[in-house]
Amino acid sequence: MRIATSDDGTPIAFDASGTGPPVVVVGGAFNDRGSWAGLAAALADDGFTAVSYDRRGRGASGQTAPYAVEREVEDLAAVLAAVGDGGPAHAHGVSSGAALLFRAVAAGVPVDRISVLEPPYRVPGAPPVPEHYTATLRRYVDAGDRDGLVAFFQTRVIGLPAAAVEGFRSDPVWSALCAMAPTLVHDGLVLGGDDHGLPAGLLAAVRVPVLVVASSGTAGWLGQTAEPVAGALPDARWIRLDGGYHRVPEPVLVPVLANFYRGVSPAG
């Protein structure tokens, strides 16, 4: 583990392995640097310096108040500065991490090619986010009710049946979700607060090549976000790869990402 120091003094923990151009993986909700360690390792084996990091408030990273999306943009810039040598750098954003990556690139964080997996913008046909979404998340956080917050997110946002979520409480991973639950507020703000619609103005400001990836195993509206997101970006294409729900296995994903980062257009 290494530490980058963000502009406001917050320590941001990251792991880096391999040699070559940096690729930073930006995780989404309930993700820490271990969530995408396998992807980072596979990218390292393919000739990149692969980085996974704990976004602020998660894992070994700090959490300096007050939170603002701009601070997370600065965190990513700090990680890139810690691993880069001034040459080309790339990044891969997962779910709400893709939305953070778009904000960072639009703000001028120096990456020259980015890939994203299923940004969870509420495209036409998607159900709306729950009413008063940000305030509801904050009420759970202020009450110290992390169990309730995880259950609310799993049922009202992801759409899992309540009975399935109740059964999930006995799984050992539940405690890890509860530990990161307050950062769901961060993800909500990154996606636009109470409006998670497609941010056309923001995406129009992302002026680097983008590859938007969808998984064949992602059912419903979330599996349909890639095409409209790519259409709103100045220089993007989208591709659907064989995978599970909201995830593509490394042997399928990494060759496509590696070729894209090297300037080779993916087929499909």
Per residue in 30-71, pLDDT (tens digit) is 999 999 999 999 999 999 999 999 999 999 999 999 999 999
CATH for 2-123+196-261? 3.40.50.1820
Query: Token pair 């976004």 is at which residue?
Result: 55
The C-alpha angle 90, 16, 59, rounded to 5 degrees, equals 105
Quick one: which of 177, 144, 180 has its CA closest to 61?
180
Mean pLDDT for 253-260 is 98
Strands 210-215 and 113-117: parallel
The length of the chain in residues reads: 268
Tokens of 141: 């956080």
Contact status, residue 208 vs residue 112, Cβ threshold 8 Å: yes
Quick one: which of 228, 267, 221, 211 has its CA closest to 246?
221
Distance CA 60, CA 13 (A): 6
pLDDT tier, 103 (very low <50, low <70, confident <90, very high otherwise):
very high
What stretch of H or E contains 200? helix 200-204
pLDDT digit string (tens) for 155-209? 999 888 999 899 889 899 999 999 999 999 999 999 999 999 999 999 999 999 9
**What is the three-class DSSP state of 37?**
helix
- What pLDDT, on a 0 to 100 scale, did the predictor assign at position 86? 78
What average pLDDT does the chain have?
95
β-pair partners for 116: 93, 212
Percentage of residues in the chain with pLDDT exceeding 90? 89
20 CB-side CA count, 13 A: 17
Q: Taking the domains of the chain in order of start, what are their residue ranges?
A: 2-123+196-261, 133-188
Mean pLDDT for 64-91 is 94
Quick one: which of 34, 64, 4 has its CA closest to 176?
34
pTM: 0.95
- What pLDDT, on a 0 to 100 scale, did the predictor assign at position 159? 84
Mean pLDDT for 204-226 is 96
pLDDT at 100 over 70: yes
Quick one: which of 105, 73, 87 has its CA closest to 209?
105
- What pLDDT, on a 0 to 100 scale, did the predictor assign at position 264? 84
Mean pLDDT for 205-226 is 96
Query: Token pair 């969530």 is at which residue?
Result: 35
pLDDT at 11 over 80: yes
- What pLDDT, on a 0 to 100 scale, did the predictor assign at position 266? 64
Quick one: which of 264, 132, 238 has its CA closest to 185?
132
Quick one: which of 101, 128, 127, 106 has its CA closest to 193?
128
Quick one: which of 168, 124, 167 has its CA closest to 30?
168
